[in-house]
Amino acid sequence: MSVATQTKRLYTASIKKQKRKTPLVCLTAYSAPMATLLDPYVDILLVGDSLGMVVYGLPSTLQVTLEMMINHGAAVVRGSQKACVVVDLPFGSYQQSPQQAFQNAARVLSETGCQAVKLEGGAEMAETVAFLTARGIPVMAHIGLQPQSMNVYGGFKVQGKQPSEQQTLLEAAQALEAARAFAVVIEGVKETTARHLTEHLTIPTIGIGASVTCDGQVLVTDDLLGLLSGFQPKFVKQYATLTPVITKAVEQFAADVRTRDFPTPSQLYL
Ligand code: KIV
């Protein structure tokens, strides 16, 4: 599979086959225009619940609603043609029971047109993942650092540091694989743990703060573009610095308005 030559929408079956092949490229997108910009270059567009902080200025992902995810998911599907679109199930929309998860995941799939959902959790979520995948809902799992469980961890902490934690993570990932998750995001784990999981799983591992040993990488696009100010996790590599570009443009616009240098005759209907 090569994203450059591919013309049709990528489904999760093709993503799964990428295990141990060319690394998978995944970026977050929350809007149609950004999806259009990223689509030619990525395998997966993730409508992450990180949108709660990035788009809505919320303190964490815990306040994100199903309606937010559906609205942004639908926009990303409309703005893209080739990438496999995966939409996060928000906190509280799937943990209660497999039935609750199915009801909400089915809404996400049918109302957005996305190809899969992502949910956080280890072995305790395997039953739910099996319930969804048996009923036509492809699932990407998410283990390691799980932002929706920040209140349990007491913040965002690197996972899998101890050998026993590494074993727990492997058992969780294998349970999710047996439940037919098509891929697993591994967030905030040591390189040795990421390598161990990647070697022992038959489904692709998509790393974020989990080293180059994974079968693919995901980043929050706004971090990569330097669109956010403030705290940047160590695992982010910034490929552009757009904040000063925006500041300069807006500063110039404001000055032009105040000095009546905008609009000029070329912006007028004559
Ligand atoms: O919500 C999100 O953007 C995510 C990625 C960072 C993996 O879950």
User: Are residue 210 and residue 262 in the same domain, yes or no?
Assistant: no
User: Are residue 69 and residue 147 in the same domain, yes or no?
Assistant: yes
User: Are residue 104 and residue 47 in the same domain, yes or no?
Assistant: yes
Q: What is the pLDDT of residues 30-58, one digit of tens each?
A: 999 999 999 999 999 999 999 999 999 99
Split into its structural domains, the chain has a count of: 2
Tell me the two tokens of residue 139. 């699932």
Q: What is the pLDDT of residues 208-260, one digit of tens each?
A: 999 999 999 999 999 999 997 677 888 999 999 999 999 999 999 999 999 99
Q: Is 187 a catalytic residue?
A: yes
CATH of the domain at 144: 3.20.20.60
Q: Which of 120, 124, 177, 187 is catalytic?
A: 187
Distance 187 CA to ligand 1 centre (A): 9
Instruction: List all residues whose CB is within 6 A of at least one atom of ligand 1.
Output: 28, 46, 48-50, 88, 185, 187, 208, 218, 220
**Residue 9 carries which DSSP code?**
P
Distance of CA 1 to the CA centre of its chain: 21
User: Are residue 130 and residue 228 in the same domain, yes or no?
Assistant: yes
User: Are residue 122 and residue 253 in the same domain, yes or no?
Assistant: no
Tell me the two tokens of residue 179. 């439940």
Per-residue pLDDT, 5: 63
The residue contributing the CA closest to ligand 1 atom 4 is 48
Domain span at 81:
3-239
Residue 70 CA to residue 170 CA, distance in Å, equals: 31
Q: What is the pLDDT of residues 174-200, one digit of tens each?
A: 999 999 999 999 999 999 999 999 999
Cα Rg, the chain, nearest whole Å: 20
- pTM listed for this prediction: 0.95
Distance 156 CA to ligand 1 centre (A): 13
CA angle 138/140/141 to nearest 5° reads 130
Which has the closest alpha carbon to 86: 7, 34, 11, 23? 11
Q: What is the pLDDT of residues 67-99, one digit of tens each?
A: 999 999 999 999 999 999 999 999 999 999 999
CA 61 to ligand 1: nearest atom: 1
Beta strands in the chain (DSSP E): 24-28, 44-47, 84-88, 116-120, 139-144, 183-187, 205-208, 216-219
